[in-house]
Amino acid sequence: MGGDEVEGDQSVDVTGDIPLSVILPRPSRRVRLAILDDHEVLLDSLTGWIGANAPDFDVVLSAASWVQLVHSANFPTEVVLLDFQIREPVSIEARVRTCRAAGAKVVVMSGLDTVEARDRALDAGASAFVSKSQPLRDVMDVVRGVMGVERDNAPHHDWRPLPIGAQNQTVPKLSGGEEEALKLYVAGHSTNEVAALMNVRYETAKTYLRRVREKYKQANRPASRKADLIRRAAEDGYLE
């Protein structure tokens, strides 16, 4: 049939000059994120939530201190989620400017949501200021806006503490000892430290915390993991 006939089982290149990037699915972009929060239990909770619910971010650095952040081999990242209040004597201005000078954008997150705190963070060069009372889903949307990426619209579970007395939420009645043990435990103290601070035996402190978990379970708000117990404490106003 002429010189253009294809014989046998030869394969034909149908792509022509079409770039492979058009044919193959493009890998999703993951933003390299660092978090600084000196409340280590909350730091773990934040890191876990983002890892489970924000697949467009890669938490490559979780730091409980300023020194740990800047000395990490993973610093700088593309963006830093920076706690406004830390115990170290390093001002928010110095921290924001250092991150910016290293090439990272900064989103300041704070439980101190005042005009003064917001102005200090933004005047120092932070790209955004968010309140810790906001749902983490909304916080991450702010970070996405700073980085120019779009949200994955898959359903997620939010970490935002529910207000006291919210519908279908039963607040367990805790004894004085149980409440004190809970507050100390979710503040980052070990069970041994809780016992020492309460001036009780280790087994007594352990019993207080076990009873707290049992009461939340009976209220249909299980808190078997420490991160879950922190969330319950935040929801019910025990987190200081």
Tell me the C-alpha distance between 75 and 72, whole Å: 5
Within this chain, domains 31-147 and 176-235 share the same CATH topology: no
What are 80's strand-pairing partners? 34, 106
At residue 206 the predicted structure's pLDDT band, cuts being 50, 70 and 90, is very high
Exposure b/e, 55-88, CB count within 10 A at least 16 = b:
ebbbbbbbbbbbeebbeeeebbbbbbbbbbebee
pLDDT digits (tens, 9 = 90+) for 154-174: 444 444 444 444 444 688 999
Q: pLDDT at residue 19 above 80?
A: no
CATH for 31-147 (1.10.10.60, 3.40.50.2300, 3.40.640.10, 1.20.950.20): 3.40.50.2300
What residue spans define the domains of the chain?
31-147, 176-235
* DSSP tally for the chain: helices H, then strands E: 10, 5
At residue 239 the predicted structure's pLDDT band, cuts being 50, 70 and 90, is low
Q: Which fold has domain 176-235?
A: Arc Repressor Mutant, subunit A (1.10.10)
Q: pLDDT at residue 129 above 90?
A: yes
Q: Report residue 83 as tokens.
A: 């706690």
50 phi and psi angles, rounded to 5 deg: -65, -40
Of the candidates 136, 135, 129, 64, the residue with the CA atom closest to the CA atom of residue 96:
129
Q: Report residue 29 as tokens.
A: 């972009």
Residue 142 CB neighbour total at 10 angstroms:
17
2 phi and psi angles, rounded to 5 deg: 110, 175
